[in-house]
Amino acid sequence: MRALKETHARLSQVGIAGFDRIEHMANPRTPQKFGDLEPSAWPGERLGLPNEGQFSIGRVGRRVGAIIIDWVAALMITMLIPVSGSAEGFVTGAIFAVMQIIFIPTIGGSVGHRAMGMRVIKLGGGWVGVWRPAVRTLLLMLILPVIVWDSDQRGFHDKIAGTVLVRA
């Protein structure tokens, strides 16, 4: 224990970044695992997002509206393609996925997102890129990650992709 205190004192004297992690690990009041975190006062609080207005988390009603718009658009495009039977469902899903992967990095969200006043952003800022929408869409197509949310109302698909759906 004495060696730990001496190391801490030396690191703090020379200003080594990260020395405070020693204190952080020793403080029993600091959350040590996910279940120890306090719930957010509003969705997005822990992400540094506002409670309402621009850049606040896109709420459930807007999300449901957006996915309905996107799915109807994919269905309408499918109707233009001569397919039938079980292939029709596959083609609709593929069109839906392609729309997500193309429109999220180019216009900031799918057609439904934009129509409902939302956009997909990368946590930490910057361009969302192509791989994030691809991963997000792949998980979205599995449905289960969409219904598993945290207290910030981020679906598992957004957490894995490092994205968040916010009001534009």
- Average pLDDT per consecutive 10 residues, the chain (168 residues; last block may be shorter): 46 40 39 64 90 94 95 96 88 96 97 97 93 95 83 89 95
Q: How many CB atoms within 10 Å of residue 109?
A: 27
pTM of the predicted structure, to 2 decimals: 0.74
Residue 168's pLDDT is what? 92
Q: How many CB atoms within 10 Å of residue 139?
A: 19
Residue 135's pLDDT is what? 95
Q: Residue 122 belongs to what H/E stretch? A: strand 118-122
DSSP structure class, residue 117: T
Residue 36's pLDDT is what? 66
What are the tens digits of pLDDT across the range 126-158? 999 999 999 999 999 988 777 888 888 888 899
Kindly write down the DSSP assignment for every residue of 73-142, as one continuous string.
Answer: HHHHHHHTS---THHHHHHHHHHHHHHHHHHHHHHSS-HHHHHTTEEEEETTSS--TTHHHHHHHHHHHT
Buried residues in 142-160 as b, exposed as e (16+ CB within 10 A): eeebbeeebebbbbbbbbe
Residue 33's pLDDT is what? 60
The answer to whether 114 and 168 have CB atoms below 8 angstroms apart is yes
Residue 119's pLDDT is what? 96
> CA 54 to CA 148: how far, in whole Å?
24
Residue 92's pLDDT is what? 94
Residue 64's pLDDT is what? 92
Q: What is the CA radius of gyration of the chain?
A: 22
DSSP, collapsed to helix, strand or coil, labels residue 8 as helix
